[in-house]
């Protein structure tokens, strides 16, 4: 129910931040404009008494977010990877949202396992630990399978999580609708579509069978990637509310000091995590869309271990090529080409000037080149990017939301390991390889072969299609029927030529 009752929910959100004493810190960290700060206090301060109390043992902002529910926690997880946006102090506070939230009891977890599999947990597992990690949607236990003796990670959904998420999403839908109604200028950002997209992603996270399938697919795609490993699911022990994966043993990627102490090269790790993400997104079109510190470890041999596959992103081949051309344009500092690609893809309305857009993009890209990442204000850069999208009437591309969000998160993870990283320089070899393999002459021949193979499947149907077309015009004048027959014959010959060409090209490539 997305009705006005959600106004109360939104007011309570502000009231919770007031009550926890974190409203000022949150607004300052987000660099909110003075008018927004005044409105936030005006609507929330009188209702501070109805705000959720939260866990007094947590830092103020984290306390408010955890009290508000899982959807807010998801947002906090993203911010925890961006100390350059929210500041080091707040980022450290928010890091507990990744995998250190208060757990629910082990007995409840065992009861859930018994309900899903029809057998007691102690019968399925010879060992079963207390929670080793707890996040917004589920918690993880270390266990040992009774049948094989293998050490595994058992992931169990939080009780009542589905209802809690739907309540938050309901409020988000209401807020998006109100924003569109009260601010017509915001419609180009498509807040309703954005929330719809977020909902589809989150609800997929609530079925662990889908996460098991994602782990299996991701593992198959990346099995040849050096320095990267994906634990695989135990299908006979995976259900809607419980999932079992191979155990990932390693140090948390977010603990830089521990990684250095263990002899790992954090500079190389930072570069590798960024290159792996780009490779998965461009090469496979299927990528881990929740690559924050809490979902990555480093094995003793230096391999990066990824887990938690509840949110995965997919982008089609055309979009991958557009994305690669945009990245390559920035890498080469060819802002005119970057602008042209945006216009060609329809990301910028055609009534705008491509040269003006190229100039605006230069103002985005140039400050990054030749500057130590530690001196780049990502908050100011993102604010300017927002101004550019508003000026040129760019609508939000919902199909790219996960990609853009994950790019921000991964770059933040890479910076935490390698503070002076230059993402453009690190991305260059991955993007160049993709373009070489997918935008050159050989790629054009491969595309042609695919098209011809599709047409060849219609070969047996061409005579019937021709006959139907002729009969459909049987009531036309005789001379026009004759013309139609000759045209149909021409189509048949052309179709046969395409079929033959497809077979020939397929044998050559």
**Pairing between β-strand 138-145 and β-strand 125-134 as defined by DSSP bridges:** antiparallel
The strand pairing partners of 287, in sequence order, are 313
SS (H, E, C) 195-249: HHHHHHHHHHHCCHHHHHHHHHHHHHHHCCCCCEECCCECHHHCCCCEEEEECCC
Beta-bridge partner residues of 251: 298
Contact 232, 248 (CB under 8 A): no
Task: State the pLDDT at residue 499.
Answer: 46
Instruction: Count other C-beta atoms under 10 Å from residue 451's C-beta.
Output: 13
Spatial distance between the Cα atoms of 256 and 397, rounded to a whole number of angstroms:
35
CB 17 within 8 A of CB 51: yes
Reply yes or no on whether 290 is catalytic. yes
Cβ density class 230-268: b for 16+ within 10 Å, e for less: bbebbeebbbebbbbbbbbebbbbbebeebeeeebebee
Helical pair 191-205 and 401-417, crossing angle rounded to 10 deg: 70
Assigned token pair, 311: 């949110």
**Where are the domains positioned within the chain?**
5-98, 102-135+137-247, 250-439, 442-508
Half-sphere exposure of 466 (CA within 13 A, CB side): 19
Residue 301: CB atoms within 10 A of its CB come to 9
CA-to-CA separations, 128 to 101, 146, 183, 208, in angstroms, rounded: 20, 10, 53, 19
Distance CA 337, CA 439 (A): 15
A 10 A CB-CB count for 351 gives 7
CA distance linking residue 294 with residue 278, whole number of Å? 19
User: Would you state the pLDDT for residue 94?
Assistant: 78
Half-sphere exposure of 406 (CA within 13 A, CB side): 25
The token pair at 89 is 């102090």
pLDDT of residue 491: 46
3-state secondary structure of 141: strand
> pTM higher than 0.85 for the full model?
no
Which single residue is written with the structure tokens 């079109």?
285
**How far, in whole angstroms, is CA 291 from its chain's centroid?**
9
What tens-digit pLDDT sequence spans the chain (509 residues)?
A: 456 666 777 788 888 888 887 787 777 766 666 766 777 777 777 777 778 888 888 888 888 888 887 778 877 776 676 665 666 677 777 777 766 678 899 999 999 999 999 999 999 999 999 999 887 788 999 999 999 999 999 999 999 888 878 877 787 788 777 777 766 666 665 677 767 767 777 777 789 999 999 999 999 999 999 999 999 999 999 999 999 999 999 999 989 999 999 999 999 999 999 999 999 999 999 999 888 888 899 999 999 999 889 888 888 888 888 888 888 888 888 999 989 988 988 888 889 999 999 998 888 778 766 565 556 555 555 556 667 777 888 776 656 667 777 887 888 889 889 888 887 788 889 988 988 888 766 666 666 666 666 666 666 766 676 667 666 655 555 555 455 444 544 544 444 444 444 444 444 44
For residues 293 and 94, give the distance between their C-alpha atoms in angstroms, rounded to a whole number: 12
Residues 6+ apart with CB under 8 A from 266: 256, 259, 260, 417, 418
Contact status, residue 218 vs residue 309, Cβ threshold 8 Å: yes
* Of 109, 29, 113, residue with least CA distance to 64: 29
Give CA–CA dist 60/94, Å, rounded: 10
Residue 228: phi and psi, rounded to 5, are -145, 140
Burial of 507 (0-12, 13-18, 19+ CB in 10 A): exposed
Instruction: Return the residue matching tokens 């109360």.
Output: 8
Catalytic residue among 84, 168, 170, 290: 290
pLDDT value of residue 504: 41
Q: State residue 492's pLDDT score.
A: 46
C-alpha count within 13 angstroms, C-beta hemisphere, residue 338: 20
**Residue 373 has what pLDDT?**
58
Contact yes or no for 446/509 (Cβ under 8 A): yes
Alpha carbons within 13 angstroms on the beta-carbon side of residue 88 total 4
Sign of CA dihedral 413, 416, 417, 418: positive
Cα angle: 360, vertex 366, 372; to 5 degrees: 145
């Amino acid at each position: 129910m997305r009705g006005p009752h959600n106004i109360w929910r939104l007011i309570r959100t502000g009231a919770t931040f007031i009550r926890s004493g974190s409203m000022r810190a949150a607004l300052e960290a987000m660099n909110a404009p003075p008018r927004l700060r005044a409105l936030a206090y005006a609507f929330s301060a009188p209702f501070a008494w109805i705000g959720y109390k939260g866990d007094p043992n947590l830092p103020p902002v984290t306390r408010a977010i955890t009290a508000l529910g899982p959807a807010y926690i998801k947002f906090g997880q993203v911010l925890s990877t961006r100390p350059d946006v929210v500041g080091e102090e707040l980022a450290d506070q928010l890091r507990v949202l990744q995998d250190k939230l208060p757990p629910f009891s082990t007995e409840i977890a065992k009861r859930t396992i018994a309900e899903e599999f029809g057998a007691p947990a102690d019968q399925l597992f010879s060992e079963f630990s207390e929670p080793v990690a707890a996040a917004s949607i589920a918690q993880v236990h270390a266990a040992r399978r009774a049948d094989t003796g293998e050490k595994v990670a058992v992931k169990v959904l939080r009780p009542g999580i589905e209802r809690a998420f739907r309540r938050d999403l309901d409020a988000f839908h209401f807020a998006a609708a109100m924003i569109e109604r009260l601010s017509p200028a915001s419609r180009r950002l498509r807040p309703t579509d954005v929330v719809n997209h977020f909902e589809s992603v989150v609800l997929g996270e609530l079925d662990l069978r889908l996460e098991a399938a994602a782990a299996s697919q991701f593992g198959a795609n990346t099995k040849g990637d050096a320095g990267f490993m994906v634990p695989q699911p135990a299908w006979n022990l995976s259900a809607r509310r419980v999932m079992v994966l191979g155990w990932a043993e390693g140090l948390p990627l977010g603990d830089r000091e521990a990684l250095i102490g263990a002899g790992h090269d954090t500079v190389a790790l930072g570069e590798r995590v960024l290159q792996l993400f780009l490779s998965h997104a461009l090469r496979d079109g299927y990528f881990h869309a929740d690559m924050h510190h809490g979902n990555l470890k480093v094995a003793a041999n230096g391999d990066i271990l990824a887990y938690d596959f509840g949110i995965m992103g997919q982008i089609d081949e055309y979009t991958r090529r557009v994305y690669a051309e945009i990245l390559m344009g920035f890498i080469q500092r060819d802002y005119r080409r970057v602008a042209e690609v945006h216009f060609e893809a329809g990301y910028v309305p055609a009534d705008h000037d491509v040269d003006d857009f190229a100039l605006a993009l230069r103002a985005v890209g140039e400050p990054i080149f030749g500057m130590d990442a530690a001196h780049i204000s990502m908050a100011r850069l993102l604010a300017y990017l927002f101004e550019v999208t508003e000026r040129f009437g760019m609508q939000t591309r919902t199909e790219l939301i996960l990609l853009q969000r994950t790019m921000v998160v991964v770059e933040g993870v890479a910076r935490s390991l390698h503070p002076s990283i230059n993402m453009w320089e690190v991305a260059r070899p991955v993007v160049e390889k993709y373009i070489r393999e997918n935008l050159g002459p050989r790629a054009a021949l491969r595309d042609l072969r695919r098209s011809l193979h599709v047409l060849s499947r219609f070969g047996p149907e061409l005579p019937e299609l021709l006959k139907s077309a002729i009969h459909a015009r049987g009531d036309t004048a005789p001379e026009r029927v004759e013309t139609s027959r000759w045209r149909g014959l021409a189509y048949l010959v052309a179709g046969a030529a395409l079929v033959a060409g497809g077979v020939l090209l397929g044998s050559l490539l």
